[in-house]
Chains A and B, each alone.
Chain A
Amino acid sequence: MSYGYFNKILVIDLSQKTTEIISLPEDYWRKHVGGKCLGSRLLLDYETYKEDPFSPSNPIILLTGSLTGSNVPGAAKASFYCKSPLTGVYLDSTCGGSVAFRLKASGYDGLIIMGKSAKPVYLVISEKKVEIKSAEHLWGKGCFEAESELRQEYGTQCSVAVIGPAGENKVKYANVHADFYHQFGRGGVGALFGDKNLKAMILAGEGVVPFYNPTELIGKSLDMVNQCRTDQKALFRGQYGTLSTLDLTQKLGIVSVKNHTDGISDQYEADLNRNYIKSNYVKRNLACFSCPVPCGKGSSVPYKGLTYLVGGPEYETMSLVGTNNDLNAEGTLYLNWLCDDLGIDTVSGGVTLACANEAFVRGDISERDLGFALGWGNVEGLAQAFKSIAYREGIGDLLAEGSKKFSEEMRLDLDRAIQVKNMEIPGYDPRGTTGYALAYAVADRGGCHRRARPVYKEQDDDEFRFSYKGKGSLVKELEDTRGFYHSLIICDFMAAVYPLKVKEYTEMLNLATGWDMDEAESMRVGERAINQSRLFNTLCGISRKDDILPGRFFKDPLKRGRAAGQVLDPEKFQEMLSDYYQVRGWTDNGLPTESKLDELGIQGGGLR
């Protein structure tokens, strides 16, 4: 009997309308733990690097981890693993809420969704049955309406994940929306759902996950709630969520403002700040399943005579939809709701429109090109743009491909398409944090801030923040650590605000599974995960040439604030990249070496 996992993966073939339960080789579990390390392994096993993302044989893999089903703080995350339609490379996309718990409580460690349904369908999964049902009555509906309708039938004791019109129309950065206020945000998993004619999933598990030492595991985790009541960092995070991140980026001068033409937001003082938003819009605090830190916010925003209820805003939306398009708080919150309802990732969506917005303001493109007017702070124009994207109408069809494709087709300056490997970057200007410059460049899924968060180590020391020295080893260590957390799967915030680090999580993992892992073995799992995703990307043709940031960051210095005058030095950036490859044990072209793969016990692609 296994503990912490069932060794049961549910495989659903939407073409054949069949389901099957598979088991993985027993040695897979301790070696990969779950989540990212296992997901990247399965992507290699299924050789999805060879597939077109929209091929019926490109599977979507949804996994939990060996702590899922427990109440270990932060263990409420589930992730999709697939070849991204946006980037054409490795993707993991993560969500909180109760998705992970309800899937695991159904008796499965994960799902593999293959094939394509001829007609719209949704899945109902519990420990009692698996059903593939018609979703024709839901097709075309926004995420909020579709979920509300499903909940009429399935109630509150389940998790519901849906796509909106953006997913149905295969917008390359369409997300999967879950439990009203959560999203599998990045990389376009929603487009893969749409391509497979999969509108929604109901995860209704109520079963029990067997743990090796449940008394200690669950009891210890419950005791930790008391710690969070007195821990100042945890309290602050619970009070403001990521609303407070704008304080940090504004202080450091690295906010994404007007498509990175600035690093300081003028809207911050006016109303786009945590206190104003908290007192004027936030109605309640929301937590993921079993989490004692309610960093999620439920807000209510009036717009044009109607009231919209929205989860958040999270920092990335405040920054990439908000400051990046110079919006006020009300406009940001309304567009947050609109993107959530349409099923659009606010990061890629916000950055793509900021790119179009800058071109519009410069006069490079006009209302005639777009079919609507844009302009900084123009909420109505942006709303029209988001709708056109979701339905791929007019120029929206091109904007739905992301900032790079849009810039290429419109003959705009590619240096101003703020993306890495076609994925738009989040809200930390890399000119003011060389750590993030490197982390973005090498992140396995493209422009992403979650593989490593070097700014934590840089924020109090500007000399180090702008220096290129020591960043290779810093980013590697942070990536490996996150690689382990993402295999558990643990929320990124917990280790940041809680006295729970690799050592403590390893102890929890041992209580869950009965293993005797130590910290070093856990870090190897993280390193294995990063090397597997890089191997996947290598097989997709990725190498050093792709680990690069947009030209703007090497040409235009930041103008104001604590990072004023900062611009990336191309040569030093390349040296930093070489340094990173070296500490990773990769070739100078950024390819994992045979010896490194052997050392980590990583085999190549292909089913064993």
Chain B
Amino acid sequence: MRLKFQARDCTICNLCTIACSFKNTGIINLKHSAIKINPQMPDSLTVKINYCSQCVQAYCVEACPVKALNRVEDGRVILNSELCDTCQGEYKCVSACKFSGINNPGDGLPPVKCDVCNGDPQCVKVCPLQLISIV
């Protein structure tokens, strides 16, 4: 189970990042969004969206020295925040991800990574153009 974005039509409204951070923190705090919207302008009218796509070959899982990242049955890679020690601020999973799909929120807090809201993703609900789906 993972998210799929139709980035071509993204309006860069950021409602998905707002909903994600609201779910994670109870307020709008984009550092705690598992999604990052990156407009690639003006060279091309495209948007690059960074989020965890629960890679089959999950480099983050391999990189985690304390096994805080684990694959679960439905295919998601789940972070156990209690085990995570941020690699003493090194965030090896963040560096290992080739798609910038995991975020370092700073302040020594565990990394932020999409867990598809356990099957009820908030971003899917709020995207005005319904460009996000679960696959």
A residues in contact (CB < 8 Å) with B: 69-71, 98, 105, 144, 147-148, 155-157, 180-181, 206-211, 214-215, 218-219, 222, 225-226, 228-229, 238, 283-294, 296, 298, 300, 309
Contact = CB atoms under 8 A, between A and B. Distances in A.
Contact of B15 (A98, A214, A290): A290
A563 to B, nearest CB: 36
A228 B15 CA distance: 13
B22 A228 contact: no
B97 interface: no
B19 to A, nearest CB: 6
B28 A157 contact: no
Given A156-B39, A309-B42, A309-B45, 5 more contacts: A71-B28, A148-B43, A285-B9, A288-B13, A294-B11
Nearest to B13: A287
Contact of A285 (B11, B15, B36, B127): B11
B42 A287 contact: no
A284 B45 contact: yes
Contacts of A180: 39, 41-42
B81 interface: no
Contacts of B26: 214-215
B128 interface: yes
Given A156-B39, A215-B26, A289-B13, A206 B31 contact: yes
Contact of B18 (A157, A207, A218, A287): A218
B45 A222 contact: no
A174 to B, nearest CB: 20
Given A206-B31, A285-B11, A292 B128 contact: yes
Interface string B1-23: 00000001101111100110010
A238 B129 CA distance: 10
B30 interface: yes
A206 B11 contact: no
B128 A283 contact: no
Contact of B129 (A147, A156, A157, A294): A294
Interface of B: 8-9, 11-15, 18-19, 22, 25-31, 36-45, 122, 125-130
Given A290-B18, A298-B45, A211 B13 contact: no
Contacts of A298: 41, 45
Nearest to A143: B42
B22 A222 contact: yes
A218 B13 contact: no
Contacts of A296: 11
17 contacts: A70-B28, A71-B18, A155-B38, A181-B41, A206-B31, A208-B28, A208-B29, A214-B28, A215-B26, A218-B27, A222-B125, A225-B15, A225-B125, A229-B128, A284-B45, A298-B45, A309-B44
B30 to A, nearest CB: 6
A218 B52 CA distance: 24
Nearest to A151: B41
A222 B43 contact: no
A292 B27 contact: no
Nearest to B106: A206
A155 B38 CA distance: 8
Nearest to B31: A206
Contacts of A293: 128
Contacts of B36: 156-157
A286 B42 contact: no
Contact of B28 (A69, A156, A287, A309): A69
Nearest to A295: B11
Please list the 5 inter-chain residue pairs (A to B) with the smallest Cβ-Cβ separation, ordered nearest first.
A287-B13, A294-B11, A292-B128, A287-B11, A156-B38
Contacts of B8: 284
Contacts of B28: 69-71, 208-209, 214, 218
A286 B45 CA distance: 10
A524 B27 CA distance: 30
A222 B39 contact: no
Nearest to B128: A292
B27 A214 contact: yes
B41 A291 contact: no
> For A144, A218, A288, which residue has the most chain B Cβ atoms within 10 angstroms?
A218
B102 to A, nearest CB: 15
Contacts of B31: 206
A288 B14 CA distance: 9
A285 to B, nearest CB: 5
Contacts of A206: 30-31
A449 to B, nearest CB: 25
Which of B28, B129, B130: most chain A CB closer than 10 A?
B28
Contacts of A284: 8-9, 11, 45
A289 to B, nearest CB: 6
Contacts of B122: 222
Nearest to A218: B22
A121 B11 CA distance: 32
A163 to B, nearest CB: 17
Nearest to B130: A229
Contacts of A229: 128, 130
A286 B128 contact: no
A214 B18 CA distance: 12
B81 to A, nearest CB: 20
Contacts of A69: 28
Contacts of A289: 13-14
Given A209-B28, A228-B128, A229-B128, A222 B18 contact: yes
Contacts of A287: 11-13, 128
Contacts of A286: 11-12
